[in-house]
Every structure is written in structure tokens, then in C-alpha cells.
């Protein structure tokens, strides 16, 4: 008999925190400045509060469905058809993220370190990690997260502490930045920065109880909110507004400022390492979940024969945006405006329907 895979709270927290926080290395700090101007930290607190409220409701609704993921819920409500529809939506969500992030990570990596290298060659390295990770499976991926994430966190916090000399608190004024009304109105759909929490509802069969899932969700959201707050505070105090709108890779510009005497120069190389590792882990878990979802919705016995075809598909789709600006826009201007519908609204709707069905059949 095949042994059922379980992993602990720590592994799950590491996966979700990495999924939520990888955007810090791309465009999250600039996004906070775009919405909140000098008050990026208020925007961060506001979206975090919305995400906490959303998760609080979701985990309460989830209580009677311990051990069931969203695909099982879809099947519970509408049979095989429900499972396929929900699965396709999840594949679209994860596929969109993977395609856009693969392109953006590779373009940024090329911009910073491999200026002469062809884009396809840089993407190829990410792709190899995705293929190898998917081949080894969820247990190996989560354990790798559990090992790597503490080092990434240490590197990330060190970077933010390293710019303490450049912090100018007057950059936070006017205190409400672009205005509270703008932050509240425009910030609402941007709760989508937390929409990767959806992955937690795909990992429920791997968690032993509802209590573990609940704790994982709150810890992940708490840690992610803290890291978002640290970076939005550092970015908006180190660079004055509107310079904050101009930085292509904000955290890289923060890292380049750090210079600790004559002994520690070019600290951005730490940033390069943690960025590359976080990106690879992000893409690998997303890629695995796409394969696992495809396998589950179509009742296929194996997912490994699908690894190479899906890798080709994702790499190919990542070449569709004509340039880096377009691929960033696909994420920031589009995905981050509607992905809350899939990350929060869809699970809520599913859980309500599943509860109604359960009540009716009882």
C-alpha cells in the first residue's frame, strides 16, 4: 500500500510564505508606492488586514471539510464536472503566475547579471529546477523549502537592516501619502497580493488536521505581512517619493546602497543568491501543483509523463509578452486586480455551496 504523504506546519508555512513574498524581489515595493505614494506601509497594513479577515472567514467555513482540497469540494458540489471546472480555474491561476513570473524573473536576472545571455538560456535554468523539483515530488519540494527559507529570511532581513543608515523618516510625510480614500479604494482589489493563499487550500490533504491548516494560514499571513511591512517601510524611507516609482527592481536598488566599510562591498550579491533561490522554489512548487491538479481533475494515474510537455508549454507561453514592461503589467495591472476573486472569493463560494449541500443531504 502506498504511504500517504503528510508534511508539517513548518514546511507548509515556508511554502506559503515564499509564494506570498517572492513578489518582494520583483515589484511589490513599487506597487506600494504606486497606490499609497509615501504611505506604502499603510497600504500594506490595509491589504494585510483584508487578507486576515478573508482567511478568518474561509477557515471557519472550512472546518467540516477537513482533509478535502478545493477539487474535492468541487466534486462534492457538482460531481466530476465541478472538479474539472474548479481544476481548470486553478490551473489557469497557477499557470498565469508561473508564466509571468518565469519571464519576469529571467528578464530581471538578465538585466542585473547576465546582460549578454539570451533570455531563453536564462529561462532554461529555471526550467531545469522546475522539472527536477516536479520529478522528485511534493515531499522533496516542501522539505527543500523548509531548509532554504530560513536562510532567505536571514538574507532578506540583513539587507533591510543594512540600509538603516539611509533611512530618512521625513520621506514618510505627508503621512497619508496619496490620500486615505485612494488607498482604501485602490487597495481593495490589491488584496490579490495575498491570493497565493489559494495554494493552502490545495495542500489540505497533506495536512493532518484542520487545526494545522488554520495555524499554517495565520502564521503564513502574519510572516508575509511582516516582510511586506519591512520592505515597504525601508523602500519608502530610503528613497523619496516619486523616485520610488522609477526603480525597475526596487530591492536591488536598496541592496546596492549597502556598503559596510572597506570590508563588505557589493552586498547585492547576497540579494542575487536569495532572489534566485526564492524564485526557483516559487516556480517549482507552482509547476508541481499545475501537474498535480491536471492529474487529479482528469483521473490520470501518473503525472511524471506530463512534466516535459508542461515545461515546454510554460516556457513557450512565457515568450508571448513582447517585453519586460508588458510582462510586469500583466501581473501588476491585471493579475493583481482580479486574482482575489480566485484566491478568496472562489473558495468562499465553494465552501458555502458545499455547506448548503451537506445541510440539505443531512
Partner 1 sequence: MITFSRFIIVILLLGVAIYTVSYGVWAWKQKNKLGAVMVFLLAIVIFVLPIYTIWIREA
- Residues near partner 1 (CB under 8 A): 294, 298-302, 305-306, 308-310, 312-313, 316-317, 319-320
CA distance linking residue 133 with residue 15, whole number of Å: 13
CA distances from 121 to 125, 196, 272 (A): 7, 28, 18
What does DSSP assign to residue 332? I
Instruction: State in angstroms the smallest separation of the CB of 313 from partner 1.
Output: 5
Q: Least separation, in Å, of the C-beta of 295 and partner 1?
A: 9
CA 20 and chain centroid, separation: 3
Question: Residue 121 and residue 125: Cα distance in Å, rounded?
Answer: 7
What does the alpha-carbon distance between residue 12 and residue 68 come to, in Å, rounded to a whole number? Answer: 16
Nearer to partner 1, 263 or 302 (CB): 302
Q: Which is nearer to partner 1, 122 or 159 (CB)?
A: 122
Residues 6+ apart with CB under 8 A from 360: none
Q: Closest approach of Cβ 134 to partner 1, in Å?
A: 15
Shortest Å, Cβ 299 to partner 1? 6
Residue placing its CB nearer to partner 1 in the complex, 264 or 298: 298
Which residue's CB is nearer to partner 1, number 64 or number 309? 309
Q: Are 307 and 295 in contact (CB under 8 A)?
A: no
Contact criterion met (CB below 8 Å) for 232 and 30: no
Give whichever of 175 and 312 is closer to partner 1, judged by the CB atom: 312
In whole angstroms, the minimum distance from the beta carbon of 84 to partner 1 comes to 8
* 118 vs 150, beta carbon nearer partner 1: 118
User: Residue 60: how many CB atoms within 10 A of its CB?
Assistant: 10
Q: Residue 248 or 317: which CB sits closer to partner 1?
A: 317
State in angstroms the smallest separation of the CB of 25 from partner 1.
27
> Whole-number minimum distance, CB 80 to partner 1, in Å?
8
Instruction: Burial-class residue 234 by CB neighbours within 10 Å (0-12, 13-18, 19+).
Output: buried
How far is the C-alpha of 254 from the C-alpha of 268, rounded, in Å? 9
> Residue 118: phi, psi to the nearest 5?
-65, 145
Give least dist CB 293 to partner 1, A. Answer: 12
308/349 with CB nearer partner 1: 308
Q: Collapse the DSSP code of 264 into the 3-class scheme (helix H, G, I; strand E, B; otherwise coil) and give the result.
A: strand
Distances (CA, A) of 286 to 183, 199, 230, 258: 30, 9, 26, 33
Amino acid at each position: 500500500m502506498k504511504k500517504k504523504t503528510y508534511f508539517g506546519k513548518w514546511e507548509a508555512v515556508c511554502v506559503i510564505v515564499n509564494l506570498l513574498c517572492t513578489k518582494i524581489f520583483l515589484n511589490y515595493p513599487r506597487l506600494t508606492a504606486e497606490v499609497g505614494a509615501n504611505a506604502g506601509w499603510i497600504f500594506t497594513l490595509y491589504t494585510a488586514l483584508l487578507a486576515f479577515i478573508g482567511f478568518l472567514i474561509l477557515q471557519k467555513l472550512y472546518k467540516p471539510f477537513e482533509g478535502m482540497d478545493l477539487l474535492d469540494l468541487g466534486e462534492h458540489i457538482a460531481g466530476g464536472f465541478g472538479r474539472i471546472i474548479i481544476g481548470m480555474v486553478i490551473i489557469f491561476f497557477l499557470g498565469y503566475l508561473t508564466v509571468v513570473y518565469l519571464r519576469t524573473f529571467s528578464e530581471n536576472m538578465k538585466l542585473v547579471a547576465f546582460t549578454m545571455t539570451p533570455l531563453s538560456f536564462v529561462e532554461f535554468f529555471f526550467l531545469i529546477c522546475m522539472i527536477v523539483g516536479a520529478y522528485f515530488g511534493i515531499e522533496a519540494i516542501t522539505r527543500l523549502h523548509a531548509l532554504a527559507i530560513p536562510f532567505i529570511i536571514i538574507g532578506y532581513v540583513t539587507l533591510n537592516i543594512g540600509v538603516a543608515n539611509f533611512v530618512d523618516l521625513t520621506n514618510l510625510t505627508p503621512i497619508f501619502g496619496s490620500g486615505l480614500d485612494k488607498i482604501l479604494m485602490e487597495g481593495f482589489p490589491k488584496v490579490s497580493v495575498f491570493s497565493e493563499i489559494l495554494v493552502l487550500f490545495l495542500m489540505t490533504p497533506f495536512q493532518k488536521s484542520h487545526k494545522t491548516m488554520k495555524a499554517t494560514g495565520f502564521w503564513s499571513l502574519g510572516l508575509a505581512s511582516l516582510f511586506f511591512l519591512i520592505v515597504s517601510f525601508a523602500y519608502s524611507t530610503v528613497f523619496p517619493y516619486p523616485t520610488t516609482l522609477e526603480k525597475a527592481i526596487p530591492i536591488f536598488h536598496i541592496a546596492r546602497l549597502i556598503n559596510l566599510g572597506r570590508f563588505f562591498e557589493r552586498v547585492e550579491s547576497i540579494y542575487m543568491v536569495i532572489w534566485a533561490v526564492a524564485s526557483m522554489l516559487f516556480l517549482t512548487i507552482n509547476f508541481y501543483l499545475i501537474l498535480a491538479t491536471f492529474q487529479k481533475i482528469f483521473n490520470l494515474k501518473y503525472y511524471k509523463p506530463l512534466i516535459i510537455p508542461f515545461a515546454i508549454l510554460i516556457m513557450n507561453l512565457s515568450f508571448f509578452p513582447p517585453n519586460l514592461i508588458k510582462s510586469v503589467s500583466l501581473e501588476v495591472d491585471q493579475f493583481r486586480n482580479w486574482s482575489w476573486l480566485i484566491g478568496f472569493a472562489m473558495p468562499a463560494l465553494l465552501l458555502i455551496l458545499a455547506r448548503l449541500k451537506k445541510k440539505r443531504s443531512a
